[in-house]
Chains A and B, each alone.
Chain A
Amino acid sequence: MAPRLQLSGITKRFPGVVANEAVSFSVAPGEIHALLGENGAGKSTLVKIIYGVQKADEGEIAFDGHAVSIDSPREARALGIGMVFQHFSLFEAMTVLENIALGMDNPPPRRELETAVRDVLETYKLTLDPHRYVHTLSVGERQRIEIVRALLQRPKLLIMDEPTSVLTPQEVEQLFDTLRRLASEGCSILYISHKLHEIKELCESATILRGGKVVATCDPRAESTRSMAELMIGGSLKDLAPREGECSGANRLVVEALSMAGEPPFGTSLADVSFAVRAGEIFGIAGVAGNGQNELLSALSGERADYEGGAITLDDTPITRLSVTGRRVAGLATLPEERNGHAAVPGLSLAENAILSARRRKGLVSGGIIRAGAARRFAAAVIDAFSVKATGPAASAASLSGGNLQKFVMGREIMQEPAVLVVSQPTWGVDAGAASFIRQAMVDLAGKGTAIVVVSQDLDELLEFCDRMAVINGGHLSDAMEVKGISVERVGLLMGGVHGEADHPPATAERAA
C-alpha cells in the first residue's frame, strides 16, 4: 500500500537560514508518527509546508501515492489533511458551535452541524457541550473544539502540534485514547512533540530533526528517552548537579490569603492564595495555563497592586504596599513568562535591558542620570557568566535567540543576588542545552540561600528540581506537597480542578509516604 504521506527532499530557505534541508520521510496509513526536535529544528516549518501555509523551495510531497502541490490550507483540507495548532484560534465570547462553524470552509446549517458535532463527540467519547461559551472552558476542552473541527472534515492525516503542552496528565491520557482510536480506523497521525515519554507511549515510529535535517528515524518503543534526547540535541545530556546548601527552615517569602480580580476580560481571579518558601528552597507552582498564574506573577512583582486582600512578607518585612521598584530594593526579583516585551524590550540593547530591572540593586543610575559604563559592564558580566551568545552589551535584545535572551534575563535577575526569585516558565521555548543551564543556575542560586518560586506548566520540569510544590487551579492554590514521593495522579487531579483532601484518601496516603 502506498504511504499516506511521503516527503522527498523538502528544502525551505528563509533569508539567512535554512529551515528544512532535504527532509524525507513517510507516514503509513493508520500510523502514529512522531516528529521530534528541539525548538528551531524546523518542525513547525515542515508541518506548515504539509498544511499548505508555506511553500517548499524544493522537494515533493506525495499523498496516497500521488504527487500533490498544496498551495493553501483549503487545498490541504480538501486532500484530507487536518491540523490542530498549538495556539488555538477561538473566539472566547462565542459558543463552541459558533466557533466550529466559523472555522469551516462551507459550514452546513446550524442544526445539521450540531448533529454532526454530536456524532463526532459520541464516536470518539469526547466530552464537550456545543452550547457552552469558550471563555468558560478549560484549555483541554478548548483543544477538543479544535480536534472536533479537524475530525468533522474526516481527515486521512491529522497533524497535532505540541498538543499536550497545556493538558493535565489525565487529559493527556484521554487525548491518547482518541488518537489511538482514530489510528485504528486508518487515519494517520503526525504527532509533533518534544516530550519523549509521551512519544514512547503513543508512537510507532519517529523522525528526528536537528538543524532542519533528518538525523534519525527510529522506533521510539525500542529507544530510551535518553537516547532520543541525545539524538535530538546532538550531544550528551547533562544531569543536574545537586545543590550545595540545605533548606535552612527560615521562611523568606510568605504569601497570605492573597485575593485579586482576574485580568480583563476573561482572566482568573486569585482566591485566598497562601504559601511560604524557605531559604534555599525551590518551590514549584504547577497548573494548566490561564488558571491565575499571570495574576499571581503580577501580584508578587507589584505590577498590579489592586489586591482585594492578603499580605506578602519578605524576610519578615511586609512588602504588600511596596511598588515594583520598592520590592526589588527589598530583594524580590521576578521574571515573567513572556521575554519579548515584558521581561525585556526587544528594541533596546542588552545594556539598556539591564537598566530595566537592575538599576537600583546594581547602582546603574545616579542622580537621575544613567551610568552607561556601569550598565555596559553589568550586561557584559551577565553575558559572560551565563554564556549568552551575543555580540556584546550593545546587541539589541531582538537579535538574540529565545534561549539566549532567556539566559540573559535570568542572569540579570540572578546576578542581583535576590533574597527571593519568582520565575514563570523559565525554560519555555528554550532549547535543551539552555534549559538545563537555566535549571542548574536556579539550583545553584538556591544553594546560596535564595528562596525560589517556579511557576510552570511543565510538570516534568517541576518534579525534576523542586523541593515542594503546589497546584494552581481556577485561582486557588492547593496545599504544598513534598516532591519526594509525590503522586503524579493526585497532582493531575488537582490540575484538573479536583480539590479537597477527603476526595482522594489513597493519594493523600501516598503523599505522606
Chain B
Amino acid sequence: MAFVLEPRREPSRAMMLAAPVIAVGLTLVVGALLFTLLGHNGALAVYEIFVRPLFNPYRWQDLLVKAAPLAIIATGLAIGFRANVWNIGAEGQYILGGLAGTGIALATLDLDGGWVLPLMVVAGVVGGMAWAAVPAFLKTRMNVNEILSSLMLNYVAIQLLYYLMRGPWKDPMGFNFPQTAMFSAAQTLPVAVPGTLIHLGIPIAAALALTAWFLIARSITGFQIRVVGLAPRAARYGGFRQSSTVWLALMVGGGMAGLAGILEASGPFGQMVPQFPTGYGYTAIIVAFLGRLNPLGILLAALVLALTYVGGESAQTALGLPSAAAGVFQAMMLFFLLATDILVRYRLAWRRPAAGHPLPAAGQGATKTRAEAATA
C-alpha cells in the first residue's frame, strides 16, 4: 500500500483562490514552530514580522515602498509565466535597469530640466529589455533553455555592478567608497504624498498592474499569451508564432524589471551602490505565483512579501532574529503554495501499488504518453 496522487476531475475554483491564503497560514504556523525549535520565541517572531508592522503608520509607508518594485517585477514575470516562458533573470534585469538609468544620471549630473528623469526611466526600461534580450535571442535562435540563461545572467549583472562601482563610476569625491555620486534633484523620483516616503513608483506600480490586468483579459496580445501557455499547438494553429511570444514575454518581463530598477535607484537609493540588489527579482517570482499570475492578486501578494522584508528588519533589532529569517519565511511561502497547488489539482489516495505492468498501455496513467511517443 502506498500514497498516490490522482488528478481531480475538475479542480475547484474556490480552492485555487484559497490556496495562497492557506499557504500563508501554513507559513505562519510552521515558521512559529521552526523559530521555537531554534530557541527563539516563535509566536512572538511571527507577530513581530507579520502583525506588528501593520499597526505602525511609518512601517506602512515602508511596506508600500518595498511592495512597489515587487509588484512591478512580478506583473512582468506573470505575463511570461502564463505563456510558459520562465524568466528567472528579473534580478539581473532589475540591476541592468538601475545601471542604465544611473549611466544617464552620471552623464547629466550638471544638467537640469524636466527631461532628465524621464530619460533615466526610459533608459532603465531599455536596459532591462536588453538584458532579457539575450535569453530571448538564445531561446528563439538556438533553443537554449531560458531558465538557465536568464538565471546565469543574474550573476553577470552583479559582477558588472561591482566593477562599475569600484572602477569607472566610483564617486571621485566619495572618500573611495564603492558608490556613485548622489543624484541631483532633477534626477530623483518625486514624492507622491508630501511628507511621506511614498514616492511616484507606488502609484506607477498600481497603474501598471491595472493596465496589465485589462490587457491580459481583453487584448489580443493577452489572448495570445494565454493560448500559448494553455495549448502551444493551438497557438500555432491560431497564427501566434512561438518566437514572437518568447520575445514578447521576455521584453515585457525585462522592461518591467528594468523599470523597477531605475525607480528604486532614483527613489529610495538616490544613487547606485553595491547593495542595490536586494533579491527583489527572486522574491517577485514568489509574488507572481502567490498572486495567481493575476496582476490584481499580485498587488496583494506584493504587500504580503513586502511585509516579510519590513517585519524581518524590525525583528532583527527587536528580537535578535537572524537576517535570514525573512528569506526563510519567503521560501516557506513558495514551498507551501506549490504543495497546496498540487493538492488542489490532485487528490491523495491510499492505494495498493499497481501490480507490475510490463505493458504501460495496460496501466491507465502511462498509456497516453507512451502511446503518443510510440505511434506515429
Taking Cβ atoms with an 8 Å cutoff, the residues of A that contact B are 15, 51-54, 71-75, 83, 85, 87-92, 102-105, 134-135, 139, 142, 266-268, 289-290, 301-303, 323-325, 328, 334, 336, 338, 341-348, 352, 355-357, 359, 365, 368-370, 372
B9 engages A89 (CB within 8 Å): no
CB closest residue in chain B, given A83 = B362
> Which chain B residues lie closer than 8 Å to A51 at the CB level?
362
B237 engages A139 (CB within 8 Å): no
B357 engages A73 (CB within 8 Å): yes
A-B interface, 4 closest residue pairs, ranked by CB to CB distance from nearest: A290-B376, A324-B239, A73-B362, A325-B239
Cβ-defined partner of A88 (8 Å) among B234, B239, B375: B375
Cβ-defined partner of A344 (8 Å) among B218, B234, B373: B234
The answer, yes or no, to whether B226 is at the interface (CB within 8 Å) is yes
> Which chain A residues lie closer than 8 Å to B237 at the CB level?
301, 303, 324, 334, 336, 342-343, 356-357
Residue among B221, B227, B238, B371 with max Cβ neighbours from chain A (10 Å): B238
Chain B residues within 8 Å of chain A by Cβ, number: 36
> Which chain B residues lie closer than 8 Å to A345 at the CB level?
227, 230-231, 234
Cβ-defined partner of A341 (8 Å) among B234, B354, B362: B234
Additional pairs, 15, CB under 8 Å, beyond known A105-B358, A343-B237, A369-B219: A72-B355, A88-B371, A89-B371, A102-B358, A268-B376, A290-B375, A301-B237, A342-B233, A346-B230, A346-B231, A352-B223, A356-B237, A357-B239, A368-B220, A368-B221
Residue among A73, A139, A368 with max Cβ neighbours from chain B (10 Å): A73
A103 engages B376 (CB within 8 Å): no
The answer, yes or no, to whether B113 is at the interface (CB within 8 Å) is no
Q: Binary interface profile of B, 47-88, with partner A (CB < 8 Å = 1, else 0)?
A: 000000000000000000000000000000000000000000
B226 engages A348 (CB within 8 Å): yes
Alpha-carbon distance between A87 and B373 when the two chains are bound, in angstroms: 10
B342 → chain A closest CB, angstroms: 18
B361 engages A87 (CB within 8 Å): yes
B376 → chain A closest CB, angstroms: 3
Cβ-defined partner of A91 (8 Å) among B233, B238, B355, B374: B374
Given contacts A365-B220, A370-B219, A370-B223, contact A89 B359 (CB under 8 A): yes
> Which chain A residues lie closer than 8 Å to B360 at the CB level?
89
A58 → chain B closest CB, angstroms: 21
> Which chain A residues lie closer than 8 Å to B362 at the CB level?
51-53, 72-73, 83
Alpha-carbon distance between A72 and B359 when the two chains are bound, in angstroms: 11
Given contacts A89-B361, A89-B370, A370-B218, contact A347 B236 (CB under 8 A): no
B355 engages A74 (CB within 8 Å): yes
The answer, yes or no, to whether B320 is at the interface (CB within 8 Å) is no
| A-B CB contact pairs (8 Å), 23 listed | A52-B362, A53-B363, A72-B354, A85-B361, A87-B367, A88-B361, A88-B375, A90-B374, A92-B373, A104-B358, A105-B356, A266-B376, A268-B376, A289-B375, A323-B239, A323-B241, A341-B233, A343-B237, A344-B234, A346-B230, A347-B230, A348-B227, A355-B220
CB closest residue in chain B, given A268 = B376
CB closest residue in chain A, given B366 = A89
A145 → chain B closest CB, angstroms: 10
> Which chain A residues lie closer than 8 Å to B363 at the CB level?
53
Taking Cβ atoms with an 8 Å cutoff, the residues of B that contact A are 9, 218-221, 223, 226-227, 230-231, 233-234, 236-239, 241, 354-364, 367, 370-376
B223 engages A87 (CB within 8 Å): no
Alpha-carbon distance between A386 and B233 when the two chains are bound, in angstroms: 25
Alpha-carbon distance between A280 and B79 when the two chains are bound, in angstroms: 45
B231 engages A341 (CB within 8 Å): yes
A356 engages B374 (CB within 8 Å): no
> Which chain A residues lie closer than 8 Å to B9 at the CB level?
15
B372 → chain A closest CB, angstroms: 8
Alpha-carbon distance between A341 and B233 when the two chains are bound, in angstroms: 6
Alpha-carbon distance between A355 and B223 when the two chains are bound, in angstroms: 9
> Which chain B residues lie closer than 8 Å to A72 at the CB level?
354-355, 357, 362
Cβ-defined partner of B238 (8 Å) among A74, A92, A356: A356
B221 engages A342 (CB within 8 Å): no
> Which chain B residues lie closer than 8 Å to A289 at the CB level?
375-376
Alpha-carbon distance between A105 and B219 when the two chains are bound, in angstroms: 55
Cβ-defined partner of B220 (8 Å) among A328, A346, A369: A369
Residue among B9, B233, B363 with max Cβ neighbours from chain A (10 Å): B233
Alpha-carbon distance between A30 and B103 when the two chains are bound, in angstroms: 87
A92 engages B226 (CB within 8 Å): no
> Which chain A residues lie closer than 8 Å to B367 at the CB level?
87, 89
Cβ-defined partner of A343 (8 Å) among B234, B239, B354: B234
Given contacts A336-B237, A342-B234, A370-B218, contact A88 B374 (CB under 8 A): yes
B227 → chain A closest CB, angstroms: 6
Alpha-carbon distance between A334 and B239 when the two chains are bound, in angstroms: 12
> Which chain A residues lie closer than 8 Å to B233 at the CB level?
338, 341-342
Alpha-carbon distance between A368 and B227 when the two chains are bound, in angstroms: 16
> Which chain B residues lie closer than 8 Å to A73 at the CB level?
357, 359, 362
> Which chain A residues lie closer than 8 Å to B364 at the CB level?
53-54
A139 engages B355 (CB within 8 Å): no
A452 → chain B closest CB, angstroms: 18
B6 → chain A closest CB, angstroms: 12
Given contacts A73-B359, A356-B238, contact A348 B376 (CB under 8 A): no
> Which chain B residues lie closer than 8 Å to A303 at the CB level?
236-237
> Which chain A residues lie closer than 8 Å to B375 at the CB level?
87-88, 90, 139, 142, 289-290
A103 engages B359 (CB within 8 Å): yes
B115 → chain A closest CB, angstroms: 29
CB closest residue in chain A, given B374 = A90
Residue among A104, A268, A338, A341 with max Cβ neighbours from chain B (10 Å): A341
A306 → chain B closest CB, angstroms: 13
